[in-house]
């Protein structure tokens, strides 16, 4: 079992960090952003149904849809 003292957020000079965010290259974002756009064409109906099932999380879905539309415009 891992205790809280063993988790590092990178601010205590620990050698490894479980909570450090991954750094992604622009190339990675371009490739996967393109694939997300393709997937969107096939999954748009399913996504809309999921949004309708969880109306209390609609703001979260809207943030994702905004990000996807930004990628689609590139």
The tens digit of pLDDT for each residue in 4-51 reads 444 444 455 555 556 656 666 777 767 777 787 788 778 888 888 888
d(CA 47, CA 41): 11
When pLDDT is cut at 50, 70 and 90, the band that residue 59 belongs to is confident
Question: Rounded to an integer, what is the distance from CA 65 to the centroid of its chain?
Answer: 11
Question: Rounded to an integer, what is the distance from CA 59 to the centroid of its chain?
Answer: 15
Greater confidence (63 vs 21) lies with: 63
d(CA 18, CA 7): 6
d(CA 18, CA 48): 34
Instruction: Provide the residue ranges of all domains of the chain, joining segments of one domain with +.
Output: 36-73
């Amino acid at each position: 079992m891992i205790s809280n003292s063993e988790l590092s957020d990178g601010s205590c000079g620990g050698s490894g960090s479980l909570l450090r965010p991954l750094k992604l290259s622009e190339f990675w974002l371009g490739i996967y952003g393109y694939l997300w756009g393709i997937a969107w064409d096939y999954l748009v109906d399913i996504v809309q149904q999921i949004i309708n099932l969880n109306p209390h999380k609609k703001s979260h879905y809207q943030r994702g849809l905004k990000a996807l539309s930004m990628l689609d415009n590139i």
